[in-house]
Amino acid sequence: MTSAATTSPLSPPLPAPLAFGDLQGCRKPFQQLLAKAAPPADTPLWFAGDLINRGSESLATLRDVIALGERAVPVLGNHDLHLLSVSAGIRKSKKGDTIEEILAAPDAADLLEWVRHRPLAHFENGMLMVHAGVLPQWDVNLTLELADELQRALRAPNWKETLAGLYGNEPNRWTPKLKGIDRLRITCSALTRIRFCHADGTMDFSSSGGLNAAPAGCMPWFDVPSRKTADVTVIFGHWAALGLTVRDNLIGLDSGCVWGEKLSAIRLTQDPAARTLTQVNCESCREPGGSGN
């Protein structure tokens, strides 16, 4: 349904994945972090979306990740979808965007094709990775089903029409009755944009701040009581103002690299107590203006 690693019964188990927060075109910190973490050569490298945009080396960063081949397991983030939308003429570049060099590359079509074929969610060994979050009513199976519907639509010949229909804040509450583009749009909003929602799962997009900036009556999506993905470990990025967040069943990895803070990676062992965090400073990648969201 989503990409999931498979090995033959005789294959030795792969090392625990190393998961990275939002790179956003910050190539130097990424290279430094990969060298510092020094994972074994066959370690799967997971990326929580937003590989590009806002940092100064989006094209080179994208090429680095693509060059990793099957070791790289990225999910799509809102900036990655923005790149596709600008390339398709659906949206215009924003102040602070750093995607023009990708669009102007001689092999731009191949790069965009690679981005467009990334998954929206990845689940393996009890760990679910998405860019932003999941709605509290969704268990893992439903999350993967909805992610699969969306990624298949983005890989179809009419993908531009689908992508153009994904923008907007409505519907903002899940119901199984949703169909067509409304169903795809709420899936996209949750997987690539959510931060806060009400206890009933109604999403609120009015704030991109930290926990103290929660809209009235709202809470972080992961703190909604009876969240149906609480039985697995959810890995996500997207929320720089939240900062690094590590719990036994929740890992938020966007620690604000593009804002000049830190880039984080964590080794995703089955035992939460054995998970190791590696970080590097990102002063050189501080975004001069605009939004890192």
CA distances from residue 97 to 59, 103, 152, 195 in whole angstroms, order as listed: 12, 12, 27, 22
Order across the sheet with 219-220: list the strands. 203-204, 196-197, 219-220
Cα–Cα distance measured from residue 277 to residue 243, given in angstroms and rounded to the nearest whole number: 14
> Is residue 75 within 8 Å of residue 118, measured between CB atoms?
yes
Domains in the chain (CATH in brackets) are 18-285 (3.60.21.10)
Q: Would you write out the chain's pLDDT as a tens digit for each of its 293 residues? A: 444 444 455 667 889 999 999 999 999 999 999 999 999 999 999 999 999 999 999 999 999 999 999 999 999 999 999 999 999 999 999 999 999 999 999 999 999 999 999 999 999 999 999 999 999 999 999 999 999 999 999 999 999 999 999 999 999 999 999 999 999 999 999 999 999 999 999 999 999 999 999 999 999 999 999 999 999 999 999 999 999 999 999 999 999 999 999 999 999 999 999 999 999 999 878 655 444 45
Angle, helices 58-67 vs 108-116, to 10°: value is 60
Cα–Cα distance measured from residue 73 to residue 235, given in angstroms and rounded to the nearest whole number: 13
Cα–Cα distance measured from residue 92 to residue 112, given in angstroms and rounded to the nearest whole number: 16
**Tokens read off for 198:** 């009400």
